[in-house]
Chain A
Amino acid sequence: MKDPQRIHTPLTGEICEHLRAGDRILLSGSVITGRDTAHRRLAQAISEGKPLPVDLDGETIFYAAPTPPRPGRVIGSIGPTTSCRMDEFAPVLMKAGIRGMIGKGERSAAVREAIARHKAVYFGAMGGIAALMSACVKKAEVIAYEDLGPEAIMRLEIEDFPLIVINDTEGGDLYEGAPGRRSMDPGSADHRK
């Protein structure tokens, strides 16, 4: 296996253009969290032309809701949720500036196409190793939608967070040809939100 590349946020179109599906990455810098309900709210605010609680320009969003920290800890356990539930909102968010996405599992054709168009990237984080990943988070604070509890938007400072590029700007896809791949495409009866 090739050694992982170290990358720092904010991600740019140029950084993303150099990433290829299958590349292992250690990501450092600032990212925001956001999952189901936060996505719905952000997309709704965008469609209504309302101000957003966080500037999405150049941001990397991590589909995650951590466990609460024990006293004295920065954060509890943290890891990715299944990304396909964010598929209906992801193209809108990329248009609003989101450059990087971190989650797990496969994306729809529309999202893969938007990643290429917006020179963005979708990283996979391993699911179910959240205690291990906790140590990569150096700072965490809630910055929006506090009422959502664990689903609130947080800003995280991460260091050497282990990721793998799943979808790149050239249409490269780690899951291409993999069993089940086509099941997530729009129009399929198996497409789950």
Chain B
Amino acid sequence: MSAIREIPCDKITDTVADLFIGASTDLGEDVLSAVREAARSEGTALGRYALEKIMENAKVAQDEGLPLCQDTGLAVVFVEVGQDVHVTGGDFSEAVQEGVRRAYRDGFLRKSVCDPITRANTGDNTPAVIHTEIVPGDAMRIIAMPKGGGSENMSSSVMLLPSAGQEGIRRHIVEAVRKAGPNPCPPTIIGVGIGGSIEKSALLAKKALARPVGEPNRSDPRLSQLERETLEEINALGIGPQGYGGRTTALAVHVEMMPCHIASLPVTVNIQCHVARHKEAVI
């Protein structure tokens, strides 16, 4: 039997708080290099201007410790818990929530969470959305993803007919981006979840967004091909940075897939703005 490793709740709280503050002010090198690359090939002057501003913003945010975007998001947290971990000194979920609470207070981040009906703000950006997964090992991997509302609003889950096939999936992805137009702050990253059940496809799409921008799906060559082809098609739409026209509508398409019911073909397209924030730590 493997030895049990103890991870105290305090450690989880501290890690979550640091990750959210860091994610809110530091644009990852993955996004930056994708933007830099896009600026080199962008054909419109306004498009290039917008991409340069994105790079300038990242520098100012880091230098001055200011959030990259005023929408510091709904806090989405992925936690892979090693099956040999024993969480001590409190309640695991509450430890994560406390980390989010602390990050949004001490990091001067905007509290953007409210009651869905009354729209009354909860005041501390909780509750965070926590996705846990039990994995082998004695470590805990925490991914913090502050998710902006504007791009999330342009996302959707659908149940396609199985006969739609790969061609139907491709059309659906491109159409979702076309319909979103300038609203989700292009250039975007498109997370796609195919298969599973309706909620699993959404989860796959969200987790696809946690992948470093532009890193292809390495598990299935059909998917990396779908990623390349849809990205090319999306960037031929002409929406461009901020919708001002141009070729840089998306920086990447990330697809994840799993088998589904013989009657179904669930597909979720989760759109992420260019402020693609995700930071992770292993404790």
Contact = CB atoms under 8 A, between A and B. Distances in A.
Interface in B252-283: 273-275
Q: What DSSP secondary structure best describes chain A's contact surface?
A: loop
Contacts of B111: 149-150
B245 A82 contact: no
Interface stretch (B59-67, B164-172, B206-214): B59-67
Nearest to A188: B179
B61 A131 contact: yes
B142 interface: no
Chain B CB within 10 A, most for which of A36, A67, A131:
A131
A129 B56 contact: yes
A183 B184 CA distance: 14
A155 to B, nearest CB: 17
Interface string B209-253: 000000000000000000000000000011100111100000000
B255 to A, nearest CB: 21
Nearest to A190: B179
Contacts of A183: 178-179, 181
Nearest to B109: A67
A76 B244 contact: no
Contacts of A9: none
Given A82-B150, A105-B243, A128-B275, A179 B178 contact: yes
A126 B242 contact: yes
Contacts of B60: 131-132, 135
A81 B53 CA distance: 17
A134 B66 contact: yes
A188 to B, nearest CB: 9
A1 B45 contact: yes
Contacts of A129: 53-54, 56-57, 69
B252 to A, nearest CB: 16
Interface in A126-160: 126-132, 134-135, 148-151
A132 B237 CA distance: 28
A124 B104 CA distance: 28
Interface string B164-204: 00000000000000111111110000000000000000000
Interface string A12-46: 00000000000000000000000011000000000
Nearest to B240: A178
Contact of B66 (A64, A126, A131, A149): A131
Interface string A114-133: 00000000001011111110
Contacts of A65: 70, 110, 112
A128 B68 contact: yes
Interface string A54-86: 000000000011111110000011110110100
B40 interface: no
A77 B244 CA distance: 23
B50 interface: yes
Given A69-B108, A106-B182, A180-B181, A76 B67 contact: yes
A132 B242 contact: no
B180 A180 contact: yes
Contact of B185 (A66, A69, A127, A148): A127
A127 B54 CA distance: 9
Contacts of A36: 119
A8 interface: no
15 contacts: A65-B112, A68-B108, A76-B67, A77-B69, A106-B181, A128-B275, A129-B57, A131-B60, A131-B66, A132-B56, A132-B60, A150-B121, A179-B178, A179-B181, A184-B181
Given A130-B68, A132-B53, A178-B181, 9 more contacts: A1-B45, A70-B108, A76-B66, A77-B66, A106-B183, A129-B53, A130-B71, A180-B181, A190-B179
Interface of A: 1, 36-37, 64-70, 76-79, 81-82, 84, 104-106, 124, 126-132, 134-135, 148-151, 164, 174-175, 178-181, 183-184, 190, 192
Interface of B: 45-46, 49-50, 53-54, 56-57, 60-61, 64-72, 108-112, 119, 121, 123, 149-150, 153-154, 178-185, 237-239, 242-245, 273-275
